[in-house]
Amino acid sequence: MSKPRIGFIGLGNMGTPMSARLLEAGYTVIGTDLSAENRARLVASGGSAVQSTGEVAALADVLILMLPNSSIVESVLESDGAAAALPQGAIVVDMSSSEPLRTRALAERLAASGGPTLVDAPVSGGVGGAVNGKLTIMAGGDAETIETLRPILEVLGKVRHTGEVGSGHALKALNNLLSATHLLVTSEAMAAGKEFGLDPQTMLEVFNSSSGRSGSTENKWPNFILPGSFDSGFGLALMLKDMRIAASLAESLGRPSQLGARAVELWGQAATELDPASDHTEIARWAASKD
């Protein structure tokens, strides 16, 4: 049986290495992006690039979206007509960090109009995980559809079936709220320790062999903050967006989080004081600048 043709919309920091891995695994990939440079990278990797989302959809058995937010996902699928252009039986996989309740509503609208099946499969693991095929993929949708997609998704990382459609986006947002809160409090602790005279590397070594360890101490601080590169590939604005999705979801369910809400507030303040294009690891520099 031939492998399904994959359409890929959104060839940015994550989409480019993800599409490259699919090509390496022998899949046909047709993609598009607003950036001509990103489209050229797909072609250089062996894929095909077209100008419009409708052209991508018309050629795809599985359409993967890696886009900034729910509004753009909805625009591509509904306003731009990508959903209508898909062949009968095609599946849409929204790997963006979208809003779970909007994802669920979108899936219902597509189904009601006889359109494609929509599943959500957001990822965690950053650019490094995308390059190495080590992403954690949170897949929401019916079990049969997820199993159909599993060979494709496992090229990109480890698949966790999280429940019904929208559940992947909910879990991704909640994960990033945790991640961002960890990073901010770690940065505050590092700033206090350095002020006291502690060596940053020693602090990280102790944290990572003790109960204070987290993804921030094991990855973000040693790899992007301590060296001063601040180039994890995930923007501060995107992290704040995911935090707000998680806080809004909790509020809508009657489960507000006081600590989470305060973390969102502080990250929002940082976003107004830092360059809009800042990497999310810049929160450490911002935290260190506070008196």
Look up residue 282 and give its DSSP letter: G
Pairwise CA distance, residues 138 & 18, whole Å? 15
Pairwise CA distance, residues 178 & 119, whole Å? 24
Pairwise CA distance, residues 3 & 103, whole Å? 27
DSSP three-state, residue 5: coil
**CB burial of residue 193 (10 Å; 0-12, 13-18, 19+):** middle
Active site residue 194: no
Q: Which of 3, 134, 158, 172 is catalytic?
A: 172
The position carrying tokens 């009601």 is 112
Q: Return the closest-CA partner of residue 90 out of 132, 57, 61, 50.
A: 61
**CB burial of residue 275 (10 Å; 0-12, 13-18, 19+):** exposed
Tell me the catalytic residues: 172
